[in-house]
Amino acid sequence: MNATEQYLAKRDKYLMAQARHQLYRKPLIVERGSMEYLYDIEGREYLDCFSGILVTNCGHCNPEINAAAREQLDKLQHTSTFFLTRPMLDLAEKLAEITPEGLVRSFFVNSGSEAVDGAILLARKYTGSKTIIPVKMAYHGRTQLASSCTNISIYSDEEPGSEVLNIRFGYNGYCYRCPFQAKYPECGLKCAHAVEELIRQSPEKQIAAILVEPIQGVGGVITPPPGYLEVLEHIAHYYGGLLIIDEVQSGLGRTGRMFATSESGVSADILCLGKGLANGLPLAAYIAKDGIGESIDYPTFSTFGGNPLSSATALATIDYLIEHRLAEKAERAGERFRQGLEEIARESRWVGEVRGRGLFLAMELVREPGSKEPATEETLAIINECKENGLIVGKSGPFTNVLRVGPALTITDEQIDQALAILRRAFKTVEEKMGVR
Ligand code: PMP
């Protein structure tokens, strides 16, 4: 048995079934990372265009960030939120500076799921309402509350919704498969306006919050049309609720802006951050407007939330993002990557749509452009073929037919061209194998 086989045997023997879903048929066992690259335990190199699901925005084991982490590790690594530390308070101040205006009060936790949970509880407490409106195909996490607001059946076999809360799903802004068979802009944003009818039909007739990702990541990089978020913001406030924006995946430079909502004119009442916040160390936060952030005053404590190690790493991560202008870089690099994906789309009959913003990109694969039947097997075959040739790309969407691209924001033009060349060849090889080219 080689090392990979040995470790796969351990997986099969010791991990729960729910932990045995890896990206590839023959899973990658990763040994180390260096900026845009990962190395498996056999020593093979991969250009990583998925960044551990959009987490290592500043690259794997970024030396500048890791130096700050190492320094903190030798000074103080743990206290719990019952104590204060400089890194945690400096980070709270930094987040108030860099997040959209008005968001000033932070609570730190360990995962995006917990951040969404906390944001929902805060909205309930502030408004006195139990009704939460997430949208279809949302992914907000795996805790009971966050998974109840998730609407992709492959991630749960429970009915979405919750007995504690009144959860009703509005429409997402999924123009490629518009539920109203309408076209933007003539549609008048029916998807967003339909939320209002949902609230009118609910027993409370008022809400605690609308909860939405500006771009749905796990849902398949669903990028809503202009104006969608503005309509949701208006409806949330009209019905006495808050707007909770989940930027766990889209935040911190990924979309070519510090936050995906930065230029939309929409202002979150509570913002959820996670994933890339500490460039790979566990840290997440929900950040609220002043009065809202004061509405729970009983002690809520988190053992590891805002621990000094993750907080110091997050401070170094944000400094790195700003100093190296990674949001601007993501916009430029994203344009180059997108053009390449569009060229592949012109050559292949499987690409139904290329979408996303900055370096948060995807191609939805369908069997026939007319039928839009999800090309699930084909997507899997292409990402496997890419892996065999040293490129990691992701997949998502309810039918896992969305091929995702999300490299470190430090990616160079040469690396983008290299990734596109491997991807183009993978399409060709798989199409030939399946007899469609
Ligand atoms: N919100 C969004 C938008 C996410 O993409 C995710 C994770 N994919 C979460 C919340 C949950 O984060 P975590 O896995 O850290 O709990």
E strand intervals along 139-222 = 166-167, 209-212
What is the helix (H) or strand (E) element at residue 402, kind and residue range? strand 402-405
**What number is the average pLDDT over the span 295-323?**
95
Q: In the predicted model, is pLDDT for residue 304 greater than 80? A: yes
pLDDT at 159: 67
Q: In the predicted model, is pLDDT for residue 160 greater than 90? A: no
Return residue ranges of the chain for CATH 3.40.640.10.
Answer: 65-323
Ligand 1, atom 10, lies closest to the CA of 140
Q: What is the ipTM of this complex?
A: 0.99
Q: In the predicted model, is pLDDT for residue 365 greater than 80? A: yes
220 lines ligand 1 (CB under 6 A): no
Return residue ranges of the chain for CATH 3.90.1150.10.
Answer: 3-58+325-433
d(CA 362, CA 394): 9
150 lines ligand 1 (CB under 6 A): no
Model confidence, pTM: 0.97
Q: How far is the CA of 112 from the centre of ligand 1 (A)?
A: 5
Q: How far is the CA of 183 from the centre of ligand 1 (A)?
A: 30
**What number is the average pLDDT over the span 304-324?**
97
pLDDT at 161: 64
Closest to 38 (Cα-Cα) out of 18, 56, 22: 56
Per residue in 73-123, pLDDT (tens digit) is: 999 999 988 899 999 999 999 999 999 999 999 999 999 999 999 999 999
pLDDT at 264: 82
> Which of 155, 211, 222, 248 has most ligand 1 atoms within 8 Å of CB, for mutation?
248
**What number is the average pLDDT over the span 192-196?**
97
| pLDDT, averaged across the chain | 95
* Alpha-carbon dihedral angle through residues 216, 147, 113, 59, given to the nearest 10 degrees: -40
Ligand 1, atom 5, lies closest to the CA of 249
d(CA 269, CA 294): 13
pLDDT at 267: 93
pLDDT at 163: 64
Q: Which residue has the tokens 């509005």?
A: 170
Q: In the predicted model, is pLDDT for residue 306 greater than 90? A: yes
Q: How many residues does the chain have?
A: 437
Show the tokens assigned to 110: 């360990």
d(CA 54, CA 60): 11
Q: What percent of the chain has pLDDT over 90?
A: 87
**What fold does the segment set 3-58+325-433 form as a domain?**
Aspartate Aminotransferase, domain 1 (3.90.1150)
Per residue in 240-295, pLDDT (tens digit) is: 999 999 999 999 999 999 999 987 889 999 999 999 999 999 999 999 999 999 99
Largest CA distance in the chain: 63
pLDDT at 386: 98
d(CA 16, CA 182): 44
E strand intervals along 138-181 = 166-167
d(CA 29, CA 420): 24
> Which of 249, 250, 310, 396 has most ligand 1 atoms within 8 Å of CB, for mutation?
249
**What fold does the segment set 65-323 form as a domain?**
Aspartate Aminotransferase; domain 2 (3.40.640)
What is the helix (H) or strand (E) element at residue 34, kind and residue range? strand 30-34
233 lines ligand 1 (CB under 6 A): no
Q: In the predicted model, is pLDDT for residue 225 greater than 80? A: yes
218 lines ligand 1 (CB under 6 A): yes
Q: How far is CA 387 from CA 7, 19, 56, in A?
A: 19, 21, 19
214 lines ligand 1 (CB under 6 A): no
